[in-house]
């Protein structure tokens, strides 16, 4: 029977690399293998260095290996047609039009991508199916959906017979699929769940939190890969000796805290791209063969020239007469949370009242600030507050607000229908967005700094103002809901206008100088541009300083970074600000203050 393997973890820990290497291993063992990515900002094609997309594609050079990147838009169209198609020949046009309108719900995209994922949980044509998942918070959400949707369909069948995705009878078949998917996820004989982490405190924190969340839905983790371990023999100078020792301490804590099989993967002296490099990772992962490192005479590229820091930071970030919003987005693991905290502290130190907001469901902003952060603004420093959008609290507040606004305006039948609609899993996404919108609209602060979820999910969040009015329109009858509809449309027009105003909102792309983060940020910049939003700054994080790149291993990595920094400046056409790799993990106001001081240099 088909074996299913999931890879998850904090962004940037190497999930795609480990998933791809595992796929190569099974394929070379003669097993027909499929690797599927559920990340809306997929970089599977970048890693394999070939076109993949929303279709099952054979991987060049590896017999028996196939890949697919689930495209949310394509999946949505397929899902709609699968549900509506059988009715086209037997239903009148006005009924079909009504069905199509129901499928314009903002949650249809999430549902359709999930439904495509479930299809692969039933794949019989492969010996092994590997899922390269989105960063942890979104993966947990994905794995909770079979239970949530099955329950919602069941409850709707007893009530109005309607869900936000259409009539129960039209999607009843889906409930059976979701029940089967739930059973498969909980079956350790068929499904293995592997966490990937870096030997860092924040990565360990997120792995512990996520594994406990999985246990609450009955999914037991089957393994852990600790990736990016510094080779001891290349850490001869004090800077890297201390980093190596810090990593080893985290590894020891991980051994004590996490009771599951563990594998240990060394950091390489260059990035992992292409089948040859992935085969080398597979050799280490499955056969314990450690990598050999490039010698200095084989390294090519520019000499180690420092790149000057641009002076546009104050002009871009500091507000004028109106509240200014700063967004930090990019691939998981590039340091968005740290950079967001640094930026918020920097602005607040100018005497400006600043609110730091995280929209990431796997938020660890409190760990970086070294202070507890909740669902209401918490004071961090004299002019700096921080808040996280807590999913459960956002849903509670959202339901309460919608129903309180509706009472006395609509009939009891309409209220009952709205309450049933609000029990849909769709509500979670809309509630989180509504909370985000409240902060965007706030006039209580001079500056708002948003630490966003990894790229694909951030772009989804920014799509929602365009979709939100349609959701409101469907929740109320045409004759009763015009006022609600017009108010919602006016509200979100204001948000869209603010996001598009370069003087009031600044989008910052955070990356580290390697191919995959650069390509993901570049695609994000183009997607933002399509929505009328211009990115204004690139922040290259974790750049190796020349003075610590003293042997062939780190010279190789730095020269790779310098080549990619040059490419970044040319490709993006934006100012590029560098933040150096720090010796210690950046945690607490004092450490953040050191980096904030570099911004004004």
pLDDT at 474 over 60: no
Average pLDDT over residues 235-245: 94
pLDDT at 300 over 50: no
Residue 302 within a domain: no
Q: Model's pTM, two decimal places?
A: 0.77
pLDDT at 277 over 60: yes
Q: Give me the helix-helix angle, 589-599 and 336-348, nearest 10°.
A: 80
CB 28, CB 125: distance < 8 Å:
no
CA distance 357 to 327: 10
Looking at residue 380, what is its pLDDT?
Answer: 94
Do 322 and 355 lie in one domain? The reply is yes
Do 84 and 183 lie in one domain? The reply is yes
Do 206 and 72 lie in one domain? The reply is yes
For a pLDDT cut of 90, what percent of the chain falls above it?
A: 34
Residue 161 within a domain: yes
Neighbours of 526 (CB within 10 A): 10
Categorize the per-residue pLDDT at 568 as very low, low, confident or very high, splitting at 50, 70 and 90.
very high
Q: Which of 516, 576, 565, 543 is nearest to 39 (CA)?
A: 516
Do 37 and 145 lie in one domain? The reply is yes
Which has the minimum average pLDDT: 166-170, 452-456, 524-528, 534-538? 166-170
566 vs 512, 513, 556, CA distance in Å? 13, 9, 16
DSSP for 29-47 reads TT--EEEEE--TT--HHHH
Average pLDDT over residues 556-582: 93
Neighbours of 353 (CB within 10 A): 16
CA distance 374 to 564: 38
Which has the minimum average pLDDT: 56-60, 83-87, 226-230, 584-588? 83-87
Tell me: the pLDDT tens digits for 101-132?
A: 666 655 666 667 667 777 777 767 899 999 88
347's tokens: 């602005």
Do 468 and 417 lie in one domain? The reply is yes
CATH value at residue 540 = 3.40.50.300
Q: What is the mean pLDDT of the chain?
A: 80
CA distance 488 to 467: 11
Categorize the per-residue pLDDT at 266 as very low, low, confident or very high, splitting at 50, 70 and 90.
very high
pLDDT at 359 over 80: no
Do 350 and 482 lie in one domain? The reply is yes
Average pLDDT over residues 293-303: 44
Range of 243's domain? 3-292
Do 194 and 226 lie in one domain? The reply is yes
Residue 545 within a domain: yes
Looking at residue 477, what is its pLDDT?
Answer: 41
Do 173 and 269 lie in one domain? The reply is yes
pLDDT at 225 over 70: yes
Buried b (16+ CB within 10 A) or exposed e, 363-381: bbbbbbbeeebebebbebb
Do 180 and 327 lie in one domain? The reply is no
Tell me: the pLDDT tens digits for 23-80?
A: 999 999 999 999 998 776 677 888 999 999 888 999 999 999 999 988 877 877 887 7
Categorize the per-residue pLDDT at 265 as very low, low, confident or very high, splitting at 50, 70 and 90.
very high
Residue 43 within a domain: yes
CA distance 482 to 234: 67
CA angle, corner 201, sides to 200 and 206, nearest 5? 100
145's tokens: 């959906």
Do 235 and 358 lie in one domain? The reply is no
Tell me: the pLDDT tens digits for 442-460?
A: 889 999 998 876 444 455 5
Do 137 and 267 lie in one domain? The reply is yes
Question: In terms of DSSP H, where are the helices of 349-454?
Answer: 365-369, 391-406, 412-422, 426-441
Residue 518 within a domain: yes
Average pLDDT over residues 546-572: 92
Average pLDDT over residues 464-477: 48
Residue 372 within a domain: yes
Looking at residue 329, what is its pLDDT?
Answer: 86
Residue 428 within a domain: yes
Residue 233 within a domain: yes
State how many domains the chain has.
2
Do 97 and 213 lie in one domain? The reply is yes
Q: Which of 11-15, 153-157, 253-257 has the highest mean pLDDT?
A: 253-257
């Amino acid at each position: 029977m088909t074996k299913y393997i999931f890879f998850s973890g904090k962004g940037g820990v190497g999930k795609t690399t480990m998933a791809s290497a595992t796929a190569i291993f099974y394929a070379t063992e003669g097993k027909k293998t499929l690797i599927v990515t559920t990340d809306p900002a997929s970089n599977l094609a970048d890693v394999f260095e070939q076109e993949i997309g929303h279709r099952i594609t054979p991987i060049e050079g590896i017999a028996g290996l196939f890949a697919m990147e689930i495209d949310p838009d394509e999946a949505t169209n397929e899902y709609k047609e699968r549900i509506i198609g059988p009715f086209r020949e037997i239903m009148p046009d006005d009924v079909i039009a009504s069905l199509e309108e129901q499928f314009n719900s903002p949650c249809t995209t999430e549902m359709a991508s999930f439904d495509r994922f479930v299809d692969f949980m039933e794949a019989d044509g492969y010996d092994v199916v590997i899922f390269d998942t989105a960063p942890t918070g979104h993966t947990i959400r994905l794995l909770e959906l079979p239970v949530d949707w099955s329950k919602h369909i069941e409850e709707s069948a007893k009530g109005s017979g309607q869900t936000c995705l259409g009539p129960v009878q039209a999607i009843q078949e889906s409930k059976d699929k979701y029940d089967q998917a739930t059973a498969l996820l909980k079956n350790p004989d068929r499904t293995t769940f592997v966490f990937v982490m870096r030997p860092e405190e924040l990565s360990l924190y997120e792995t512990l939190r996520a594994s406990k969340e999985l246990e609450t839905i009955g999914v037991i983790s089957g393994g852990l890969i600790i990736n990016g371990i510094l080779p001891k023999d290349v850490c001869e100078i004090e800077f890297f000796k201390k980093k190596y020792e810090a990593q080893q301490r985290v590894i020891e804590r991980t051994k004590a805290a996490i009771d599951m099989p563990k594998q240990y993967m060394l950091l390489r002296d260059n990035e992992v791209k292409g089948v040859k490099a992935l085969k080398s990772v597979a050799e280490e992962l499955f056969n314990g063969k450690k990598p050999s490192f490039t010698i200095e005479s084989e390294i090519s590229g520019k000499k180690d020239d420092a790149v000057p820091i641009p002076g546009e930071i104050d002009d871009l970030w500091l507000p004028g007469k109106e509240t200014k919003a700063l967004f930090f987005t990019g691939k998981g693991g590039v340091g968005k949370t740290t950079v967001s905290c640094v930026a918020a502290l920097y602005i607040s130190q100018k005497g400006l009242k600043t609110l730091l907001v995280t929209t990431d469901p796997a938020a660890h902003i409190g760990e970086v600030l070294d202070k507890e952060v909740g669902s209401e603004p918490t004071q961090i420093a004299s002019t700096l507050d921080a808040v996280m959008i807590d999913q459960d609290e956002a849903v509670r507040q959202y339901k309460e607000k919608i129903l309180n606004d509706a009472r006395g305006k609509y009939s009891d039948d309409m209220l009952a229908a709205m309450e049933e609609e609000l029990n849909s899993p769709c509500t979670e996404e809309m509630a989180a967005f509504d909370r985000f919108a409240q902060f965007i609209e706030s006039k209580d602060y001079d500056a708002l700094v948003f630490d966003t979820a990894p790229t694909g999910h951030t772009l989804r969040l920014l799509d929602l103002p365009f979709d939100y009015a349609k959701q409101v329109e469907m929740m109320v009858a045409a004759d009763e809901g015009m006022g609600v509809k017009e108010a919602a449309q006016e509200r979100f027009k204001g948000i869209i206008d603010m996001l598009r105003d370069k003087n009031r909102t600044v989008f910052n792309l955070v990356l580290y100088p390697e191919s995959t983060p650069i390509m993901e940020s570049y695609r994000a910049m183009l997607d933002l541009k399509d929505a009328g939003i211009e990115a204004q700054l690139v922040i290259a994080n974790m750049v190796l300083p020349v003075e610590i790149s003293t042997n062939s291993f780190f010279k190789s990595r730095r020269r790779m970074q310098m080549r990619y920094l040059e490419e970044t400046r040319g490709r993006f056409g934006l100012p590029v600000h560098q933040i150096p790799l720090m010796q210690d993990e950046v945690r607490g106001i004092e450490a953040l203050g050191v980096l904030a001081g570099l911004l004004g240099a």
